[in-house]
Amino acid sequence: MVWSLLYGLTRDTLGVMLLRIRGDGAKDIEIMVLRHQLAVLRRQVNRPALEPARSWPSMCRTSTVRVPNNHPRWSGR
């Protein structure tokens, strides 16, 4: 546990130091690359087709009850 705490503190300290040393140009390039990656990922996502919502009264008006035909207890055998 002591080693993991020491590792985490060292990593965070070095990360803060590198952020201060790094110039604005490098930060701008990183932001551009991340935006490009996000745009590529958004193009890959298939969004589901939306269907019109059914209201509760229309669902209650259905007169047929659907049961599976391949189950012996449901088919009346």
Neighbours of 16 (CB within 10 A): 10
What is the pLDDT, as a whole number, of residue 74?
58
In percent, how much of the chain has pLDDT > 90? 26
Q: Look up residue 43 and give its two tokens.
A: 């193009």
Residue 57 CB-half CA count within 13 A:
0
Model confidence over 26-53: pLDDT tens digits? Answer: 889 989 999 999 999 888 877 777 777 6
- Of all residues in the chain, the percent with pLDDT exceeding 70 is 68
User: Which structure tokens are listed for 34?
Assistant: 């991340």
- pTM for the model stands at 0.38
